[in-house]
Amino acid sequence: MFIKKFYLLLIIIIITSCSSAPKKNITKTQFVPDIAGNKFIGVTDIEDYLDVNNYQNKFIVAAPDHKRFSEFNNFFQLGILTAKNQLKISNEVKFIDQENLNLLEANKNFLIGPLSNEIVINIDGLLLKDKALLLNDAVDNYSISLSQESQISTLETYLLNNSIERLGIIEDENNPTEQTKDFKKKWLNENRDAVTIAVDNDPSTRIENFLNVTDSKFRFQIIDEASFSDVEFIPRTRKDFSQVVVFTNDLSRLYEIASLVRFNYGLEYEIFSLTSNFDQKIDKNEISLHDITLIDHTYENRFTSDLPKSRSFCLGFDALLVSYAIANNVKGEIRGLLGIYKITNESLVSKSYIN
């Protein structure tokens, strides 16, 4: 596989370098400074960092089969075209089926996509670094994706920046096993600690025990029965952690579990949830009522918290935004709708927003 990739890349480089097109001067690198925090404050205005669009070729977008993935494609393409209009990008955007991808044509232009994990694995490293943005996790080429990696990394970084060493973790019976495993592996790898419980379809008692309020309630009952006057009672929850991460595949279960934490006097805890496995519409009232912090893209777009539509749209928007930056040799921090991207000569690191 490696040898095949090497020779194919060599052929592509020779063909593209022998092009009869006149050579242009190397575009000067422009740097976008970092902005503190993971809250959405708006999309980076690339025009502020460019005197002129130095990239004159096409953007080729390799998308999934439109018939099989019609809903995704509709909102993904809408995101691409919205970015083109909003950012005033004059380059032609050409949509193709990812199964019909031509690497020679791609390397003469700028490739956005494909999304297929299998295709990305096969072509990763065969494309010029500054001429492609793959839309699934890659090693050699720049990439962004809808995977859970940026959400896990964002949550871990937030906790570390706040000097958190111990967490509470609640695993629902239908929790996203891979996501839970990956987060715990990353979190516990550096001698950090976590107190974990699993909850089933009746989580109330388990959460009481988890927060250590069961004994307090029992002691109060004994005192109350023995007393001739009213006894004021506010149980004390455990203080060995202040953050709780809930892992579930179901938004309604997230609301239920969070409400039980609050009901059992856990008003001071920060409650977090990753969202990459949710495919429902978020109820903003429930999120606000239970004070849940979501790790995800920003909901400040035309499809707000309708996750399937919103994510597809934001991926398309950010794909063109980031590609336009790379094509014009813009480095530094680019803020989109899906997340925050740190572009260097060697890598592209994605961070999710904290809502």
What is the CB neighbour count within 10 angstroms for residue 270?
A: 18
Report residue 314 as tokens: 């934001």
* Whole-number pLDDT of residue 13: 54
| pLDDT at 21 exceeding the cut of 50 | no
* Residue 190 pLDDT: 81
- Angstrom CA distances, 345 to 47, 118, 153, 349, stand at 20, 25, 21, 11
For 147-174, what is each residue's pLDDT tens digit?
999 999 999 999 999 999 999 999 999 9
Pairing of strands 93-97, 330-335: unpaired
> What pLDDT sits at residue 154?
97
Please state at what angle helix 149-161 crosses helix 177-188, rounded to 10 degrees: 40
Average pLDDT, the chain: 90
Q: What are 221-250's pLDDT values in tens digits?
A: 444 444 444 545 557 789 999 999 999 999
Number of neighbouring beta carbons within 10 Å of residue 218: 10
- Distance, in Å, from the CA atom of 158 to the CA atom of 173, rounded to the nearest integer, reads 26
Residues 203-223: tens digit of each pLDDT: 999 999 999 886 545 444 444
Residues 38-93 pLDDT 10s = 999 999 999 999 989 999 999 999 999 988 999 999 999 999 999 999 999 999 99
Q: Which residue has the higher pLDDT, 30 or 7?
A: 30
Token pair for 175: 């929790």
Q: What is the mean pLDDT of the segment spanning 179-202?
A: 94
Q: Give residue-wise pLDDT tens across range 91-100.
A: 999 999 999 9
Question: Is pLDDT at 134 greater than 80 in this prediction?
Answer: yes
At 167, give phi and psi (nearest 5°): -125, 155
Ordered structural domains, the chain, with CATH: 27-145+302-342 (3.40.50.2300), 149-221+235-275 (3.40.50.2300)
Question: Distance (Å, rounded) from C-alpha 320 to C-alpha 83?
Answer: 7
3-class DSSP assignment, residue 169: strand
Task: Write the pLDDT tens digit of every residue in 263-317.
Answer: 998 999 999 999 999 999 999 999 999 999 999 999 999 999 999 999 999 999 9
Amino acid 281: pLDDT: 95
Residue with tokens 């896990």: 152
Average pLDDT (122-143) is 97
- pLDDT category at 6 given cuts 50, 70, 90 is low
| The pLDDT of residue 255 | 98
pLDDT at 198: 96
The encoded tokens of residue 44 equal 């980076």
Q: What does the pLDDT read at residue 113?
A: 98
Cross-strand partners of 246? 170
One-letter amino acid at 98 equals Q
DSSP sequence for 296-355: ES-S-STTTTBHHHHHHHHHHHHHHHHHHHHHTTEEEEEE-SS-EEEE-SS-EEEE-EE-
Regarding predicted confidence, which is higher, 1 or 61? 61
